[in-house]
Chain A
Amino acid sequence: MKKRVAVLSLLLSLAGCDALPRDPGGTLDRVRQSHTIRVGLADDAMPQQARALLAALAQQEGARIELRRGSLEPLIVDLDADRLDLVIAEVAKRTPWKKLVAPGPTLLVHGEGSERTEWRALMKNGENRWIMQVEQTSRAVAPEAS
């Protein structure tokens, strides 16, 4: 009985102090310490919603955006290797990359049906606190799309 109370107390305290989730790779901690968000952009231009997302994240964390342009695949490799914190890309609805990265809520939609593409922020899998923060901010800046 004492053990159950202890486990319940632990869970409630974790819930109360908003301690969960944390990042296994410490992405959010790194952003806060370095005051830099390293972003990969898989296109020449970026839609307004994506710019708003980056501006809001930078403001929340008191950080500056370090932007790097490139092709989607090398950017995802960099994301997985912790050389980037975020990738902004226009991806197909059924993109196979969805299993390798954690896609945030939709920022902007182009086309319909099988030709539909979506602008999204892509994060490294498992960095759940950082993922949650980007998801919250994406929903705030593009509520209609998400």
Chain B
Amino acid sequence: MSAPRQPDEAMNRAMRLCWWQIGWFVTVVAVMGVVMGQSQTMKTAWIEDMLGFVPPIAFLVAARMERRPRSARFPFGFARANGLGFFVSAVALTAVGALLLVNALMTLAMAEHATVGSMRLFGHDVWLGWLMLAAQGYALIPPLVIGTKLLPLARTLNDKLLHTNAMMNKANWLTGAAGIAGVVGLGLGWWWADAVAAGLISIDIINDGWKALRSSAAELIDGAPRALDKPEVSPDARTLHATLDGRFPGATILMRETGRLIHVEIHGVDAPDPVPAREELWPCGGDSAWRLAQVTFTDRPLERDRYQELFSPGERQAPRQHRPGR
């Protein structure tokens, strides 16, 4: 089977967007840093913006590494760089949610009354809250725009690292919105407002982060391919398994994922002659056949086990009852 040809245009577009994201985020971090003062909410939002750099940088580094040819020290190439970046980004996203939640709970528990004073600007005394609102309003725009553009690309490329980046952007603009509510709340004398808003939003972010963390950990330890946005086995993998099962009855079929690519081992059958084309084996449309990176045949049978039950029709009805590893 020849090397898979991935959609270059979508990949290049995703890389351009990540560079734009880094550029925009530098300006956001600078503006937020200037006006944050002693506000804990603003400091948290600022730290979160800093963590927002992790997914695009991880994606760009992984994309660069993936293109390197295999070497003596890395004989299987660098396709797993994407998976490693996915794991790092998932940790960053979960950390953002956890940071936000801990900060909100501590603010509420200690009944901290945040001080937002004034500063002299062009000869006028201006309440710092207005500048914070302007900064937070500006900080909303880049993640909202870039996150919206990243999502369809993540689906086209089936790239979980890119999807986590889109989720991080969502987390950033949601936190920005909570920050605006918080500063207005502080201004109105409701010291608890920003902590409550941030606490509610942190639960959503932790949920996204936890799902990404489970999927990325599964990928790193050769778990079956996971869906883009949840840690369940992906529909593509199920369809592929069913197709191969029909074509090679009695064989044991193992699948794993390295970044965007799926690798398959078919145990218990001889390799067919001629070897079928990738498009012939991939059941989910020719446009995405590049995802099937490798199919290995070995005539030594492998005992059918609980992994196989995962893909049996009965199991599809109740997938949580017999998961592998339980």
Contacts and interface: CB of A to CB of B under 8 A. Distances in A.
Contacts of A20: 127, 129-130, 184, 187-188
- Interface size, B (range): 20 to 34
B23 interface: no
Contacts of A132: 117-118, 125, 127
Contacts of A14: 184, 187
Contacts of B118: 131-132, 135-136
B316 interface: no
Interface string A1-28: 0000000000100110001111111100
A125 B39 CA distance: 11
Interface string A121-138: 000111110011001100
B114 interface: yes
Contacts of A139: 120, 125
A102 interface: yes
Contact of B191 (A15, A24, A135): A24
B115 interface: yes
A19 B133 CA distance: 15
B186 A21 contact: yes
Interface of B: 112-118, 120, 125, 127, 129-130, 133, 184, 186-191
Considering the complex of A and B, which 8 residue pairs feature the smallest CB-CB distances, nearest first?
A: A126-B113, A20-B187, A22-B189, A24-B189, A102-B115, A21-B187, A136-B125, A132-B118
Interface of A: 11, 14-15, 19-26, 102, 124-128, 131-132, 135-136, 139, 146
